[in-house]
Amino acid sequence: MKNVLISGANRGIGLATANIFKSSGFNVIATARKNTDIENLSQQGFISSRLDVSESSSIDELYSELKDKDLLPDILINNAGIAHVSLLSRLDENQLQNILDVNLKGSILLTKKFIRNMSKNKFGRVINVSSILSSYPQKGFAAYSASKAGLEAFSRVTALEYADKGVTVNCIAAGFVNTDMIQGLSNSDVLKSQIPIKNIAEAHDIAESIFYLASQRNITGEVLQSNGGLMMKP
* Largest pairwise CA distance in the chain: 51
The runs of H, that is alpha helices, within 101-222 are 106-121, 142-162, 180-183, 188-194, 203-214
Strands (E) across the chain are located at 3-6, 27-32, 47-50, 75-78, 124-131, 167-174, 223-226
Q: How many CB atoms lie within 10 A of CB 139?
A: 10
Any catalytic annotation for residue 144?
yes
Exposure string of 95-134, with b = 16+ CB inside 10 Å and e = fewer, is ebeebbbbbbbbbbbbbebbbeebbeeeebbbbbbbbbbb
Catalytic residue (choose from 63, 136, 144, 212): 144
* CA-atom Rg of the chain in angstroms: 17
Non-local (6+) Cβ contacts of 197 within 8 A are 228, 229
Q: Are the CB atoms for 28 and 46 separated by under 8 Å? A: yes
List active site positions.
Answer: 144
